[in-house]
Amino acid sequence: MKIGFVSPYAWDVPGGVQAHIKDLARYYRDHGHEVSVLAPATDESLIEDDFVTPAGRPVAIPYNGAVARVLFGPVAASRVRQWISSGEFDVLHLHEPAIPSLSLLACSIAEGPLVGTFHAAAPRQKVAFAIAPLLEPVIEKLRARIAVSEVARETLTIHLDTDAVVIPNGISTDFFHKAQANPEWKKPLSIGFIGRFSEPRKGLGILLDALPNIARIFPHFKVLIAGPGEGIEAMQSVNPALRNHLQFLGRINDDEKAAFLKSLDIYIAPNTGGESFGIILTEAMAAGVPIVASDIPAFRSLLDEGRYGRLFENENSDHLATSIIELLRKPELRADFTRKGLERAERFDWSQVSDEIMNVYLHARGEDEKVRLVSETRPWNRFFTREDE
C-alpha cells in the first residue's frame, strides 16, 4: 500500500506526534509498504529519513499550553498539492487536521481515502477550537477518524461534535526492554524526568519542589533530567544545598532515551495537564521502570487508576515526595510495578497498534473483507464515512 503521512509539526523538533508518525512510517516500510511523509522543518539538514519531504519553515504559535511549530498559508498549500499529486497514495493519514497546519490543508485539498488522527486534549474553553464551525465541513471529508486516547476522543466530541475509534500511540517494546543502562547515568536511588523545561505544564517545578522532603529521608538520591532547556535557569528555584542532587543531561536521542530509562529506579511524570496520552509512560514501562505520575485523566487511564504505576495528586509536590519515598523504601513494590508495567507495555507494541491502524486504512478504502481485527468496545461503523452514504 502507498501511504502518505502529513505531520502538522516541525519534523526536526522533538514531539510525541512526530515520534508517532516516524515510528509508524518506519514500521510500515519495514513490512513492505511505500511510505512518504510531508512535514515542516526548521532546518532541513536535520532530516535523516529519506521518506520525508520538507514543506518549508514553520512558525511558532501557542497551542494547548505549549508552543507548536506549524506551517500554513498559500505557499504551504501549493507544496501540499504538489506532494499529493505526485504521490498517488492509496490512503492519506493526516495528523491533527483540526488545527491550522499542513494536515488541515491536505484535508481540504485531497480527495479519496483520508484518515485523521487526533492527538490533542484541550478543555472546552481553549481558543484553539474557536474556528470549529469552519472546520466541520473539512473534517467531514475524513473517511475515518482515530483518537489516541479516550481523553483525545472526548476533546474531539466536544469541539467538533464527531467521534473516533481509539487506537493508542505505539512503541517498540523490544527497543526499550533490551536497552542497556548508561554506567555514567546509573546511580544509587536514581529518579528521572524528561521534558521541555520551558513548559510549566511538563511539571519539572513540581518535582523540584519535592526535593527537600525526599532529601530528608534519602540524602544520597539523584535526579537525572533530560530534555531541551537551560539547566541553570531551572536550578535557580532549588536550594543551593540540594543542587548536587540534580544532573542535567540536555536533549537526548532515541538510543540515549532508552539507556536513560534503563538507568533509573523510578521515572517521574509530574505533568500538570494538556496531555492526551503519555507515550513516555509506555516507554518507561517497556524499559521496566516503575512510574510515579500525576493523576491527570490521560495518565490515570494509561496506568489504569494506579494499577501500573503510582499516581499522586496533580500539582501537589508534598504528595509527589511521599509517593517517591514510598517506592524508594519498598524495592518489592518497585519490582511489582516493573512486572505489571512490562505486561502493560505489550498493548502498545507496534505489532499490535500498526494492525489496528491498517484496519482503519482498509475500512477507509472499502476493503472490509481484509480486516483482521474488530473493535471489542464500540461498533466501528460509527467512525467511518463512505462516499455512498
- Residue 304 confidence (pLDDT): 96
The pLDDT score that the predictor gives to residue 381 is 45
C-alpha cell recorded at residue 67: 508552543
Burial 166-193 (b: 16+ CB within 10 A, else e): bbbbbbbbebbbebebbeebbbebbbbb
User: In this structure, are residues 315 and 201 in contact, taking their beta carbons and an 8 Å threshold?
Assistant: no
Residue 67's contacts (CB-CB under 8 Å, 6 or more residues apart) are 60, 61, 198, 199
Confidence at residue 111, expressed as pLDDT on a 0 to 100 scale? 94
The amino acid sitting at 60 is A
Per-residue pLDDT, 382? 46
Q: Are strands 59-63 and 66-70 parallel, antiparallel or unpaired?
A: antiparallel
Would you list the DSSP string of 293-340? EE--HHHHHHTGGGTSSEEE-TT-HHHHHHHHHHHHH-HHHHHHHHHH
> Which numeric CATH code is attached to 173-347?
3.40.50.2000
CATH architecture of 2-170+349-383: 3-Layer(aba) Sandwich (3.40)
What is the DSSP secondary-structure string of 236-283? TTS-GGGGGGEEEEES--HHHHHHHHHT-SEEEE---S--SS-HHHHH
Does the pLDDT of residue 388 top 80, yes or no?
A: no
C-alpha cell at 43: 532546518
| pLDDT > 90 fraction of the chain, expressed in percent and rounded | 75
Tell me: pLDDT of 126 over 60.
Answer: no
Instruction: Name the band, by pLDDT with cuts 50, 70 and 90, for residue 386.
Output: very low
Relative to beta strand 291-294, strand 266-269 is parallel
Which segments of the chain belong to CATH 3.40.50.2000? 2-170+349-383, 173-347
Range 69-91 average pLDDT: 95
Distance CA 120, CA 98 (A): 10
Mean pLDDT, residues 366-387: 50
Confidence class for position 369, pLDDT limits 50, 70, 90? low
pTM: 0.87
